[in-house]
Amino acid sequence: MPQVIHHQVKNRRLPILGVRVSAINMESALDTFDLWIGRREPNYVCVTGVHGVMESYRSPELRAIHNRAGMVTPDGIPLVWLAWMMGFREVERVYGPDLMLAVCERSVGRGWRHFFYGGAAGVPELLARKLVARFPGLKIAGMYSPPFRPLSAAEDREIVERINDSRADIVWVGLSTPKQERWMAAHRDALVPPVLIGCGAAFDFHAGVKRQAPRWVQRSGFEWLYRLMSEPRRLGPRYLVNNPLFVGLVIRQMLRRHALGSE
């Protein structure tokens, strides 16, 4: 089936605390994947919200990984609001779990093959079953749940060969931020599949292991509060420290830009 590109794909970025976030919406993200897969052009995608931006703010190495990515999606509503304030009115939230569903839906017509790398034992298998049930005809190339320890060099070579032999078009990497971003950057040159997408919680949400926030909560900008109440011990330090600091740093960035613009 011929690939039809519905929108002109642009690689415009907006700077948020040193991270160059892509000025995209869901349709332009899917059209970009059409191009990459059609051309067999190797890229990786960072699905990034406030947490990813703050981790990158603290780590020049992680910030460089984000800025080398083919796409950095605005995963959180605060990033979308900032894009609108900067004049990027076409930007919409490209949320990891929604991106996975949208890509799978388009995949059925395109024949794209998917590999799932990440998640706890049994989660990739459960995820694959649920996605195939939701999207009949979806092609699963393979799956692997890595151990909760660094892989040996031999194990790493084996999983690279396994992914390459699968003839996948898209590799979904569910290792959480910042581990998944570092994995994609480290393995991009060794992997044949053109698209790597770090999608974190999408594995657990679509496998049914964890509950997603209701849609109205997602749109409100308070999804972080819902997740904090669900997992206070794990997510408390992330949200209670990162969110206020993010707001303060963004205000400082905007004031500096305003001052420079008025000179």
Q: pLDDT tens-digit profile of 118-161? A: 999 999 999 999 999 999 999 999 999 999 888 999 999 999 99
CATH of the domain at 82: 3.40.50
Q: What is the DSSP letter of 190?
A: G
CB 6 within 8 A of CB 31: yes
Average model confidence (pLDDT) across the chain: 89
Structural domain span for residue 32? 15-204
In whole angstroms, how large is the CA radius of gyration of the chain? 18
Task: Determine, yes or no, domain membership for 7.
Answer: no
User: Residues 82, 173: one domain?
Assistant: yes
User: Residues 112, 172: one domain?
Assistant: yes
Which of 75, 78, 132 minimizes the C-alpha distance to 108? 132
CB 200 within 8 A of CB 221: no
| Amino acid residing at 159 | I
User: Residues 174, 234: one domain?
Assistant: no
At 10 the pLDDT is 61
Q: pLDDT tens-digit profile of 10-33? A: 679 999 999 999 999 999 999 999
User: Residues 174, 230: one domain?
Assistant: no
User: Residues 199, 217: one domain?
Assistant: no
Give dist(CA 129, CA 135) in Å, integer. Answer: 10
User: Residues 191, 79: one domain?
Assistant: yes
Q: Where are the alpha helices (DSSP H) in the chain?
A: 26-39, 50-58, 60-68, 77-85, 96-110, 123-134, 153-165, 179-187, 202-207, 215-220, 223-230, 232-262
Q: For the chain, give the percent of residues with pLDDT over 90.
A: 71
Task: Determine, yes or no, domain membership for 92.
Answer: yes
pTM: 0.87
State the total domains in the chain: 2
User: Residues 49, 123: one domain?
Assistant: yes
Number of residues assigned to the chain: 263
